[in-house]
Structure 1
């Protein structure tokens, strides 16, 4: 159990001393960019889903008629 505690302690020490953290303004800017692209990707995925659903429904209604 001491090994786990030592590992966590060393990990936090590494994060405090050796990691270069971005400025808060950059974090906000990049968060907005990620959010916008996530929304765009979700809308594109939804659009493709709607198109394929209509195509499949049209295909099956064509077969059944």
Structure 2
């Protein structure tokens, strides 16, 4: 298989065989990912803060 044939077939597949999402679906999924990322960041931040406070308390005992 030569490179030209590979490129031509790849372009054909991207144009005719790939199902691309609608813009509204893409937008709503992007918002969903953003919100989920923010929620995970807050949860991990709270866990980190709690762990930091527990470690400070533990080390202050000694």
- Give the TM-score normalised by the residue count of structure 1: 0.80
Structure 2: which 5+ residue stretches go unaligned?
A: none
CA RMSD of aligned residues (A): 1.5
Structure 1: which 5+ residue stretches go unaligned?
A: none
2-side partners of 1:6 and 1:50: how far apart? Answer: 56
- Give the TM-score normalised by the residue count of structure 2: 0.83
Task: Write out the 4+ residue segments of structure 1 that deviate beyond 3 Å after TM superposition.
Answer: none
Q: How far 1:14 sits from its partner (Å)? A: 1.7
Deviations 1:19-58 (A, max 9, x none): 1001000000010001000000001000000000000011
How many residue pairs get aligned? The number is: 60
Distance 1:61 1:18, change over 3 A: same
- Tell me what 2:27 maps to: 28
